[in-house]
Amino acid sequence: MPELLVGPLLRWVSESEATVWVETDAACEVEVLGHVSPTFHVEGHHYAIVAIGGLSAGTSYPYQVSLDGTVRWPIPDSGFPASVIRTLDPSETVRLVFGSCRLSVPHEPPFTTDRLIDRQGRGPDALAAYARRLIDSPGAPWPQVLMLTGDQVYADDVPEATREFIAQRRDTSRPPHESVADFLEYTHLYRISWSEPLTRWLFSTVSTSMIFDDHDVIDDWNISAEWVADMRREAWWDDRIVGAFMSYWIYQHLGNLSVTELAADPVLRAVREAVDGGPILRRFAFMADRETAGSRWAYRRDLGSARLVVVDSRAARVLQDGQREMIDEAEWRWVEENVTGDVDHLVIASSLPVLLVPGMHHVQAWSERVAAGAWGGVAARLAERVRRGFDLEHWAAFGTSFERLFQLISEIGAGRSGRAPSSIVFVSGDVHHGYLARVAFRRRTGVRSAVYQAVSSPLRNPLGKGERMGQRIIASRLGGALTRLLARSAGVPSPIVRWKRLEGLVFDNQIATLELHGRNALLRAERSVPSDAPERAALETIWERRLAPAPADAASMTVDSDGRPAAEVDPKAGAVR
């Protein structure tokens, strides 16, 4: 009899439709709420994504998963509440929970210990703590979306069980050592990372959206053209990147698609029709690495009067022929079609923060200019080493794309692309600390939307003491001033916008919630804290801010992105006078 290996994962949910994803140990028919889908086969592994239609808005549907007619979910006597599909109600408050960077390590000492106390410690898991809250408070408001903004799995820092699996099948003294090498090892990594009981239950009952970051593939993925060339010279790289894209397409990407998009997807159709979809996915994955055309990982979800647009800031990069763009031209056209007004709130998810602390922004902009030859060939080679050594790969290190993005945001915020949203919020992860920053535009732009960068990272993978100290130094006023001079010395122009950090830096394991209702927006950040039992971590509020309508104290924003005196900010428009 077939069994569930991974899942179920509740993925896309709208007012009338939903999808549920599973991995099984054999070919079978998967049934959810009377909707049936056969599994598809990829190199000895079996998967299904069940499309469910005909649902009523604002309604809860407890569900079971049956394999060939036998109920396999929920697990008997699990102690967890029923898994429920909750369809969207356009009149309700939208709650978007987000976080990133989650290592899969045990929920017991020493792993639950603070990293500053024990080097093995990774602290209490914020995602598990959030799941525990939902279980313990069944009447509490439920999130419509859990947005995971990258590093859902760590291919270069795998769980102990995956290390043992790898050691049984190859020599780990040779590259890529104990990192994931291919598709088979990725399947094991996902299975271990997503099978912890609290996480498994949470994923079964909260609609989850995802986008990759570097560690889903490899540290510093696509940081520069030189990095790409170096990796492609490695004998093991093709198996790694093909396995990464194959597994991402199966485990993460399919669930990001709507029911309509799934039905129209040519790759899914071909895989479903094949006896073994492995060769099809291998060709697709190889081409996804070699060229961006033909593979789009970005997507959009409409949530009542709010819109979530998820941008690919990793695989769509242009790193050739002297060009350096965060996303290619085809992706830009898609972004411009979907990042628009006529919504109350526009949420843009990018795994990499668009706005860093000013000091780090200047360093990254400097590195791009110097690595491109602003100080000559010797300095360019040194800058490339610095870029890789310090992960200088965010939007600030793609200056043309940074400017183009904020030109688009200013058009939307000024109401030149439909009615201006009340708020435009970038939600991101990656940097292993959390913060909130508010953006100021010059008055002549006419921007009326309140624009913010919100970062929540990590869910469970905190920085060490030295790394925290370095971040604090570069985030200081002195750090901002010195790095600004450094950037100017390389010919970097002033940023197109100004911004001020309102909250943070917070280095704890954390999770954030964005609440949207009408024209109002509120953001809450919470850290995970230990309790009497290590497996029952709790959450406590770090800070809570009203984002929209624009706060009355917005006029107090009187510093620019370098910490120097700046023009006053209009509290209603978020514009610089």
Structure tokens at 388: 């890789």
Is the pTM higher than 0.85? The answer reads yes
112 half-sphere exposure, CB direction, 13 A CA radius: 20
Which pLDDT score is estimated for 567? 36
The pLDDT, as a whole number, for residue 69 is: 98
At 91 the three-state DSSP class reads coil
pLDDT of residue 533: 74
- What is the pLDDT, as a whole number, of residue 294? 65
pLDDT at 572: 38
Q: Which two tokens stand for residue 93?
A: 């408050």
Closest CA to 307 of 350, 349, 258: 349
Q: How far is CA 54 from CA 18, 84, 142, 573, in A?
A: 9, 16, 22, 42
Nearest CA to 41 among 281, 310, 200, 276?
276
Rounded CA gap, 60 and 80, in Å?
Answer: 17
Q: What is the pLDDT along the chain (577 residues), one digit of tens a residue?
A: 999 999 999 999 999 999 999 999 999 999 999 999 999 999 999 999 999 999 999 999 999 999 999 999 999 999 999 999 999 999 999 999 999 999 999 999 999 999 999 999 999 999 999 999 999 998 889 999 999 999 999 999 999 999 999 999 999 999 999 999 999 999 999 999 999 999 999 999 999 999 999 999 999 999 999 999 999 999 999 999 999 999 999 999 999 999 999 999 999 999 999 999 999 999 999 999 998 766 899 999 999 999 999 999 999 999 987 789 999 999 999 999 999 999 999 999 999 999 999 999 999 999 999 999 999 999 999 999 999 999 999 999 999 999 999 999 999 999 999 999 999 999 999 999 999 999 999 999 999 999 999 999 999 999 999 999 999 999 999 999 999 999 999 999 999 999 999 999 999 999 999 999 999 999 999 999 988 776 689 999 999 999 998 765 443 333 344 444 343 333 333 433 3
Specify the pLDDT at position 320: 83
The answer to whether the beta carbons of residues 312 and 335 sit under 8 Å apart is no
> Please, what CATH class does the domain formed by 92-126+297-577 belong to?
alpha beta
Q: 528-563: b or e for each residue (b if 16 or more CB lie within 10 Å)?
A: bebeeebbebbbeebbebebbbbbeebeebebbbbb
Cβ neighbors of 298 (< 8 A, separation 6 or more) are 309, 310, 311, 312, 316, 331, 334, 335
Could you say which DSSP state residue 253 is in? Answer: I
Which alpha helices (H) appear in 274-398, and where do they start and end? 278-290, 329-338, 358-371, 377-389
DSSP 136-162: H-TTSPPPSEEEE-S-SS-TTS--HHH
Where do the structural domains in the chain lie, given as residue ranges? 92-126+297-577
Q: Which pLDDT does position 574 carry in this prediction?
A: 41
Please enumerate, as own/partner, the contacts of 278-283 that have beta carbons within 8 Å and a separation of 24 or more: 278/42, 278/43, 278/183, 278/246, 281/42, 281/246, 281/249, 281/250, 282/242, 282/246
What does the pLDDT read at residue 140? 87
Which run of H or of E encompasses 521?
strand 520-529
